[in-house]
């Protein structure tokens, strides 16, 4: 009877591991694939039985990786049409088989008089543990199958080490049972190394998240600033419209001045009114109001600093980007271009800005060329600066473009800096 329980337990652990391996794989289980898996499991168990009958149980243990794990991994690789994750699934399932053994050891320790001891305890816990792992663990494991190969490899390291350790210390040698120091201390070392690895990885991910949150916060502030500037320019337009609407009153006043020979007073009044109207003038560069307001504002800033600025824009009323993102792109790009030109002017050299923006079908293009100093520094093809408080504009531009899945490029040569954006 004891031999029968041993054989049943040997078969149950094989079935346990194979079903669990399959459940860890992200496979769409058709009827044909289920039948193929069942047939494969039957053939593997049959080979185990033949080896056991012709040799011994020890030989089955020695050959287990070749007659069970390797064929199962091949079958799952064929079904999944890729090899990495099915192999990791087999290793992970083997690690879960150790959980089955450990639970059985605990049962035997509590109930030492249990019939057939360890084999019976393992047989008892097999089915409940299998159901638990399939229902609660397998869905989480399958999610990792859709992650990057790098993350899959990181997940598979510990199952691989556990697999190698178990066979090297329990099956192929008796190092663990002899209490060899290297064998006994190996798993604590692995656990410590794995803990440190995941701590470092988690810390790095947290740092990246903090940087992203910081960048997002900066973007939100810039969007708010851009919106405020646009609202201010709109109010300026309304003021200019008011002046134009009141033209009749202005003309009446001027007529009265001329009738009373107060020509100097009339000239001063005309000059004052014209200055106020010009101050609120918004150039019409394209159909898009937001773009017009931003381009006009920076064109006025450039004019006041004697910086030549040429603008060619064909931006529709409804561009391929949102109004806030358009504000971030244009405002930051033009702000950086203006600062670069001011640095060039400080050296007594002329400076100019050339802006080209248009939309072709659903793709939005921006190219801004401006004068710059010769020593522009790049890191990973991104311009950087050592001055505190600078460099945020470039990060904001990159963040917006990346969010749309677009492309950007920065280049500098012969005193000219060029920004190109496509999204």
Rounded to whole angstroms, the Cα distance separating 106 from 114 reads: 12
**Consecutive H or E run containing 52:** helix 31-54
How many independent structural domains does the chain possess?
1
Give domain status of residue 26, yes or no. Answer: yes
Contact of 166 with 98, CB cutoff 8 Å: yes
Least confident of 19-28, 96-105, 196-205: 196-205
- Give the pLDDT of residue 420: 93
| Higher pLDDT pick, 371 / 4 | 371
- Give the pLDDT of residue 130: 93
C-alpha to C-alpha distances, 209 to 185, 204, 219, 411, nearest whole angstrom = 36, 9, 15, 29
Give domain status of residue 64, yes or no. Answer: yes
| Higher pLDDT pick, 211 / 309 | 309
Give domain status of residue 145, yes or no. Answer: yes
C-alpha to C-alpha distances, 181 to 160, 161, 184, nearest whole angstrom = 21, 17, 5
Per-residue pLDDT tens for 112-146?
877 767 888 889 999 999 999 999 888 888 888 88
Q: Coil, helix or strand for 215?
A: helix
pLDDT over 90 at 355, yes or no = yes
- Give the pLDDT of residue 400: 86
Structure tokens at 109: 């320790």
pLDDT over 60 at 195, yes or no = no
Give domain status of residue 282, yes or no. Answer: no
Per-residue pLDDT tens for 143-159?
888 878 887 888 888 88
Cross-strand pairs, 356: 312, 367
- Give the pLDDT of residue 66: 93
pLDDT over 60 at 250, yes or no = no
With CA atoms as reference, report the closest residue to 364 among 416, 335, 325: 325
| Higher pLDDT pick, 14 / 393 | 14
Give domain status of residue 387, yes or no. Answer: no
- Give the pLDDT of residue 215: 67
| Higher pLDDT pick, 287 / 68 | 68
CB proximity list for 79: less than 8 A, separation 6 or greater: 25, 27, 33, 36, 37, 86
- Give the pLDDT of residue 77: 93
Please state, for a pLDDT cut of 90, what percent of the chain lies above it. 26
Average pLDDT over residues 396-423: 89
Give domain status of residue 259, yes or no. Answer: no
- Give the pLDDT of residue 177: 74
Give domain status of residue 394, yes or no. Answer: no
- Give the pLDDT of residue 166: 83
- Give the pLDDT of residue 192: 60
Q: What is the mean pLDDT of the chain?
A: 81
Give domain status of residue 57, yes or no. Answer: yes
- Give the pLDDT of residue 387: 62
What is the domain extent for residue 94? 2-173
Average pLDDT over residues 51-66: 89
- Give the pLDDT of residue 20: 93
- Give the pLDDT of residue 109: 84
CB proximity list for 317: less than 8 A, separation 6 or greater: 287, 288, 289
- Give the pLDDT of residue 200: 66
């Amino acid at each position: 009877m004891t031999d029968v329980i041993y054989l049943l337990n040997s078969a149950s652990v094989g079935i346990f591991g194979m079903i669990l391996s399959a459940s860890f794989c992200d496979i769409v289980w058709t009827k044909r694939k289920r039948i193929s898996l069942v047939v494969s499991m039957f053939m593997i168990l049959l080979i185990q039985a033949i080896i056991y009958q012709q040799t011994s149980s020890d030989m089955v243990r020695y050959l287990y990786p070749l007659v069970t794990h390797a064929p199962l991994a091949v079958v799952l690789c064929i079904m999944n049409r890729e090899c990495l994750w099915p192999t990791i699934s087999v290793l992970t399932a083997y690690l879960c088989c150790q959980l089955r053994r450990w639970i059985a050891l605990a049962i035997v320790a509590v109930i030492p008089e249990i019939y057939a001891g360890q084999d019976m305890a393992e047989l008892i816990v097999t089915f409940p543990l299998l159901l638990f792992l399939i229902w609660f663990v397998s869905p989480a494991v399958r999610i990792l199958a859709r992650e990057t190969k790098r993350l899959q490899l990181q997940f598979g390291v510990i199952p691989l080490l556990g697999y190698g350790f178990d066979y090297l210390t329990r099956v192929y040698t008796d190092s663990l049972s002899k209490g060899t120091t290297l064998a006994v201390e190996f798993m604590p070392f692995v656990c410590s190394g794995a803990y440190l690895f995941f701590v470092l990885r988690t810390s790095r991910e947290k740092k990246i998240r903090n940087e992203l949150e910081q960048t997002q916060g900066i973007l939100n502030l810039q969007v708010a600033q851009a919106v405020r500037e646009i609202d201010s320019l709109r109010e300026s337009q309304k003021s200019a419209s008011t002046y134009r609407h009141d033209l009749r009153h202005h003309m009446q006043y001027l007529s009265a001045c001329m009738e009373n020979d107060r020509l100097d007073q009339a000239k001063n009044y005309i000059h004052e009114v014209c200055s106020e109207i010009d101050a609120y003038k918004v150039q019409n560069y394209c159909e898009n109001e937001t773009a017009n307001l931003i381009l006009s504002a920076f064109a006025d800033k450039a004019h006041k600093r004697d910086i030549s600025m040429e603008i060619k824009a064909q931006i529709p009323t409804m561009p391929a980007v949102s109004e806030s993102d358009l504000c971030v792109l244009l405002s930051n790009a033009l702000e950086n271009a203006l600062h670069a030109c001011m640095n060039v002017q400080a050296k007594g050299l002329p400076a100019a800005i050339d802006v080209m923006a248009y939309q072709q079908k659903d793709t939005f293009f921006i190219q801004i060329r401006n004068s710059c100093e010769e020593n522009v520094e790049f890191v990973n093809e991104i311009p950087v600066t050592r001055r505190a408080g600078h460099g945020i504009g470039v990060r904001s531009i990159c963040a917006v473009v990346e969010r749309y899945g677009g492309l950007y490029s920065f280049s500098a040569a012969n005193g000219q800096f060029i920004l190109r954006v496509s999204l």
